[in-house]
Amino acid sequence: MHWAALLLDKPSGADSTHDDELRGLATWALQWTPRVSVVDAAVVMEVEASLRLFGGRLALRERLRSESEELGVAIVAWAPTSLAALAFARAGEEDGFAGPLSEGLDALPMDVLTAVGPHRPTLARLGCRTLGDLRRLPRGGVARRFDKALLDALDQAYGLKPEVHCWETIPETFSARLELMSRVEHAPALLFAARRLLLQMCGWLASRHAGTTAFTLKWAHDTMRSKSAGPGGELTIRTGEATRSLDHFARLLGEHLGKTQLLAPAGELTLLVDHEEPLEERSASLLPDTVRQGETLREVLERIAARVGPANVVRPVLTEDHRIEWAQCWQPSAHKSPRGTGSIAMPQPTWLLPEPLALAVRGHRPLYQGTLQMLAGPHRVEGGWWDRAGEGGREATRRVQRDYWVALSEHAGVLWIFRERTAGDDTAWYLHGIFG
């Protein structure tokens, strides 16, 4: 299991401001995974199912680190459990996968677990400095002397007990608030703080697979203002088509703020999405992002195989075998094609049945949605005495002795049928394929 913990910088404002930042960060994180939770003044994300979608753990880690920095995230830490990831983040360490989880956690100070807080003075007098010291105490004594939450948190951090989370849900509407660190007197200066709200908005839009054509930035004037200034102002930005490009939004907002004059210093911002539209997704994770002039099909396949693994890019290859079930095989595209494959003069069907279907017979003529009319044949296929099914060579061989015909059905179209010559009866007919 892969968990990421996002820890904000130490709050410098009121508790309500820090709560707004946490909720905004959680909303932004929902674009990466639906399993997002706010735990002990931090945001934790379970991203196991998202790793391949975003290019693996290293690529996702880099994106989370770089994009969350604008939201005030001080560190992004990874570990097999959410409490372990949070513990590593509080200790200033990013990688909880660098070694065995128990060894990494044992070296951390006790303060990294919130459940230790109420008992820290007592544990310190017992000589505990790290989580490893705490784990070495007798469990029975810890359970009697301290509350149950301490052992539960310890077991959950080490992966010995399942964790329970209250998952965040994607809001139906977007509204984000930000209290400015200082009063702003000029409208263009609002862009720096507004960009954080825009980033949250883009995360919300991505989690809903949507874009917007209109959003509104509102600002509240400082309480020490003239009566004529009013409580605040607002600016609505519209785009020609639905998008969720952060840079585009920031450029448009900057252009409009440059023409706006504040009637009084602003102390608070609010961003609202006025109109939401579904946004068509364009996949760029499997096929190459660009097509280079003169690039051959093999070169393209090699680039795809480098992305998803050679075993996941296969192609059909003809083999020297007239038995239709084994006339081709699938192999990695990087392998060279075998040479000297023979040609078959008889038409081959577009679709082959997984198993031949026995046909009814009337007057020595096969039936399939009516009497079949023979168009071409017979084409005799015989061989496979060397091909033994199973291990040890003691099982039956996959030998076939068949006469194939191209037949026409009034309702089913052109079919590929055969008569089994080993059945001892010329009335044993089978449907094996269908022509497109």
pLDDT tens digits, one per residue of 87-101: 999 999 999 998 899
393 compared with 109, residue with greater pLDDT:
109
- pLDDT (0 to 100) of residue 158: 94
Is residue 348 over pLDDT 80? no
- pLDDT (0 to 100) of residue 341: 47
- pLDDT (0 to 100) of residue 327: 65
- Would you tell me how many other CB atoms lie within 10 Å of the CB of residue 344? 13
pLDDT tens-digit readout, 234-251:
999 998 889 999 999 999
Is residue 395 over pLDDT 60? no
pLDDT tens-digit readout, 239-286:
888 999 999 999 999 999 998 999 899 989 999 999 999 887 655 445
- pLDDT (0 to 100) of residue 425: 57
Strand partners, 44: 5, 37
- pLDDT (0 to 100) of residue 12: 47
- pLDDT (0 to 100) of residue 132: 94
pLDDT tens-digit readout, 33-71:
999 999 988 999 999 988 888 888 888 999 999 999 988
Out of 206-215, 330-339, 393-402, 411-420, pick the least confident.
330-339
17 compared with 287, residue with greater pLDDT:
17
- pLDDT (0 to 100) of residue 114: 92
User: Where does residue 47 rank: exposed (0-12), middle (13-18), buried (19+ CB within 10 A)?
Assistant: buried
pLDDT tens-digit readout, 175-197:
999 998 888 999 999 999 999 99
Whether 80 and 2 have beta carbons less than 8 Å apart is answered as yes
- pLDDT (0 to 100) of residue 426: 59
- pLDDT (0 to 100) of residue 209: 92
Does the domain made of 175-278 have the CATH classification 3.40.50.720?
no
Is residue 203 over pLDDT 70? yes
pLDDT tens-digit readout, 129-160:
999 999 999 988 888 888 888 999 999 999 99
Confidence of residue 32 (pLDDT cuts 50, 70, 90): very high
Average pLDDT rounded to a whole number, residues 13-19 = 65
Is residue 291 over pLDDT 60? no
Out of 9-18, 165-174, 225-234, pick the least confident.
9-18
pLDDT tens-digit readout, 161-176:
999 999 999 999 999 9
pLDDT tens-digit readout, 365-376:
888 888 888 888
Domain ranges of the chain: 3-157, 175-278, 295-338, 351-434
337 compared with 190, residue with greater pLDDT:
190
Region of 238 (left: φ > 0; alpha: ψ -120 to 50; beta: rest) is beta
Whether 417 and 427 have beta carbons less than 8 Å apart is answered as no
- pLDDT (0 to 100) of residue 340: 45
- pLDDT (0 to 100) of residue 286: 52
